[in-house]
């Protein structure tokens, strides 16, 4: 059994030495007379196959959607003083649209409406997909 382990270790060392020798040959100093010029690649072109087609495979994946009506920054001390009846004033006007978020990323804007005694949001703008 020990002989097999030693043979295997010896074979691995031989392979490593061969790899090192091959690598050192590749890294030999460049021939001073060799002509050096920049590589040329064919121009890459973007293909428009439709943004919807690749997403179809994810159609059954669930995503959490939330609606953000506003934000506020406060100190931890101010936050610790919040209690029942406290009012937190947000940074948005009543007439401003709310942000519709998917997994924390803004995907649309809308206005708050009420349907059957429940809050809802009517989408007024869908965010662009180009990152702007």
Q: What confidence score (pLDDT) does residue 7 get?
A: 54
Does the pLDDT at position 107 exceed 50? yes
Q: What is the pLDDT of residues 92-102, one digit of tens each?
A: 998 899 999 99
- Structure tokens given for 79: 């936050």
**What count of other Cβ atoms lies within 10 Å of the Cβ of residue 99?**
20
Element (H, E) at 4: helix 2-26
Domain coordinates in residue numbering, the chain: 62-83+93-132
**Are the beta carbons of 121 and 100 closer than 8 angstroms?**
yes
Does the pLDDT at position 71 exceed 60? yes
**Are the beta carbons of 107 and 100 closer than 8 angstroms?**
yes
**Is 110 strand, coil or helix?**
strand
β-bridge partners, 123: 110
Q: Which one has a higher pLDDT value, 62 or 130?
A: 62
Q: Which of 123, 127, 125, 101 is nearest to 112 (CA)?
A: 123
Q: What confidence score (pLDDT) does residue 23 get?
A: 45
pLDDT class for 30, splitting at 50, 70, 90?
Answer: low
Neighbour-count burial of 20, counting CB atoms closer than 10 A to its CB (0-12 exposed, 13-18 middle, 19+ buried): exposed
Q: Which of 27, 24, 108, 36 is nearest to 65 (CA)?
A: 108
Taking the C-alpha atoms of residue 97 and residue 104, their distance in angstroms, rounded to an integer, is 17
**Is the pTM value of this prediction over 0.85?**
no
Q: What is the pLDDT of residues 31-45, one digit of tens each?
A: 567 676 666 666 655
Q: Which one has a higher pLDDT value, 27 or 97?
A: 97
pLDDT class for 13, splitting at 50, 70, 90?
Answer: low
User: Is 62-83+93-132 assigned to CATH 3.75.10.10?
Assistant: no
């Amino acid at each position: 059994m020990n002989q097999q382990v030693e043979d295997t270790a010896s074979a691995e060392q031989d392979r490593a030495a061969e790899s090192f020798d091959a690598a050192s040959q590749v890294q030999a100093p460049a021939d001073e007379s060799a002509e050096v010029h920049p590589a040329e690649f064919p121009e890459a072109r973007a293909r428009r196959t439709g943004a919807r087609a690749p997403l179809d495979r994810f159609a059954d994946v669930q995503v959490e959607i939330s609606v953000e009506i506003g934000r506020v920054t406060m100190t931890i001390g101010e936050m610790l003083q919040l209690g029942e009846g406290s009012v937190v004033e947000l940074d948005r006007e009543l007439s401003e649209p709310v942000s519709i978020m998917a997994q924390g990323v803004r995907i649309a804007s809308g206005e708050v409406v009420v349907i059957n005694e429940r809050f809802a949001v009517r989408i007024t703008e869908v965010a662009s997909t180009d990152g702007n």
